[in-house]
Amino acid sequence: MFVIPLAVASIVCGIFYAQMKTANEQTHANAYMPAEGLALSVVEDTYTHTTETERYDPVKDDSSSSGSSTDSDGFGGSSGGKF
What's the pLDDT score for residue 63?
57
Burial 22-58 (b: 16+ CB within 10 A, else e): eeeeeeeeeeeeeeeeeeeeeeeeeeeeeeeeeeeee
What's the pLDDT score for residue 27?
80
Question: What percent of the chain is predicted at pLDDT more than 90?
Answer: 17
Q: What number of CA atoms fall less than 13 Å from residue 40's CA on the CB side?
A: 4
pLDDT at position 45 over 90:
no
- Residue 8 — pLDDT band, cuts 50, 70, 90? very high
- Residue 19 — pLDDT band, cuts 50, 70, 90? confident
Instruction: Please say whether the beta carbons of 23 and 39 come within 8 A.
Output: no
